[in-house]
Structure 1
């Protein structure tokens, strides 16, 4: 495999109060940053434009986090990066954990590295705990694999191994979809512990639409369970047999 070269992808939507701090924090670890402005209607684009040297992908209509991640991964791949770290723009992820993900990837270059949050954190909202348990249950049902955190957006994607694999869904459910499809392709999934900052409730930024997005996630999980039976599990079995044959 070619020498590892990574960048950081920051999908952002209406985060004018936090995105500057996030970019400055990431710049302490790499200059290779791709910010995807997902149709922000506030001053986010103006804030991003103040930074010299970072790559900005921007479009006028909000299309969802999954779409923004796809555009960021596409840009990273076309620019010759072998790996891409995704980090949220709300300031909850800490850029100081980027080297931890990169170091893990340097030992497992074809793996998808997952920033796993500490669920004993007393500041974590109860809704986050429930959502993650809910997601973990479905993920295990769809793949047979247990992971501690399937909801985190802080990840390192192996671009070469993934090829053109991108989510079909466009919003929050896209990150779960990517994990499931990576598992079906026998891409190793490695959790790495990260630290997360949870601001006071009145300072939190969330574009999650509780009713609509929960329905979308539930529909996706139902579809993935059906696909797992007819494609996912058989595909994993065949790939493992083929790998064993080649070895």
Structure 2
């Protein structure tokens, strides 16, 4: 498979269990290169992934010494990607929930609109926990408000293509966006930055524990984190409201011409 010089697949990974190997193999079957950022895992997958990388020049594995959170792992990968000359990364989870076969389509959409972010819009199966689905509706409503309805289809789904330089620019100046709050805050802040979303329907699969599914979501801790995040973002939205209104008016005027 020909190696891309602009787009790479970036997989943050924390104690995903054996499904990580299937995820990486599936991603490599669709794209070159694939990078995995092991976020301080202690389940043995780091050594297994390193062994895979030794036999595959299209796979790179970086192991962080301690767990810092998904956003911190992605930022580490973004900085390495920028240093290597890549302009875009597709992020996906290592636990098998995201469809690797959709990678080429998302990358093609990104290549056609490199100034945009390509956001997966999850299509849930019957196995998806209802409480998770209803909870994300609330987060999506807040994200719509915070961006003046710029078009974020789903604020929490992590299968996305980001332009590297703008995402680094919005992450580096502040200490947030390092854990479970990464995905929604990245989408909102990139909208503020002027990066517009392209939404693409994308299936998602929730695996039961007996199917090898692993979840690190903690309802109390992570919902409190999201509540604090949206409180910050609403304040940031109010500060930026005049500029956001001006931008919306300018776009609407341009569309009428």
Q: TM-score, normalized by length of structure 2?
A: 0.86
Query: Shift of the alpha carbon at 1:47?
Result: 1.1
Residue by residue over 1:14-34, the C-alpha shift from the partner in whole angstroms, topping out at 9 and shown as x without a partner, is 123111111100111223111
Equivalent position of 1:150 in the other structure = 155
Which of residues 212, 223, 232 is equivalent to 2:221?
A: 212
Q: Unaligned regions of 5+ residues in structure 1, if any?
A: none
Q: Unaligned regions of 5+ residues in structure 2, if any?
A: none
Is it true that 1:57 corresponds to 2:66 in the alignment? no
Which of residues 68, 75, 78 is equivalent to 2:80?
A: 75
Worse-matched range after superposition: 43-52 or 235-244: 235-244
Equivalent position of 2:9 in the other structure = 8
**How far apart in 2 are the matches of 1:13 and 1:89?**
8
Runs (4+) of structure 1 moved beyond 3 Å? Answer: 160-163, 237-245
Equivalent position of 2:22 in the other structure = 21
Q: CA RMSD in A?
A: 2.3
Name the SS for the 1:122 alignment partner: coil
Is it true that 1:141 corresponds to 2:161 in the alignment? no
Is it true that 1:37 corresponds to 2:31 in the alignment? no
Paired residues in the alignment total 242
Residue by residue over 1:19-56, the C-alpha shift from the partner in whole angstroms, topping out at 9 and shown as x without a partner, is 11111001112231111110111101111111233222
Q: TM-score, normalized by length of structure 1?
A: 0.90
Give the direction of change, closer, same or farther, for the CA distance of 1:132–1:100 in structure 2 (3 Å limit): same
Query: Shift of the alpha carbon at 1:4?
Result: 7.0
Query: Shift of the alpha carbon at 1:94?
Result: 1.1
Equivalent position of 1:112 in the other structure = 117
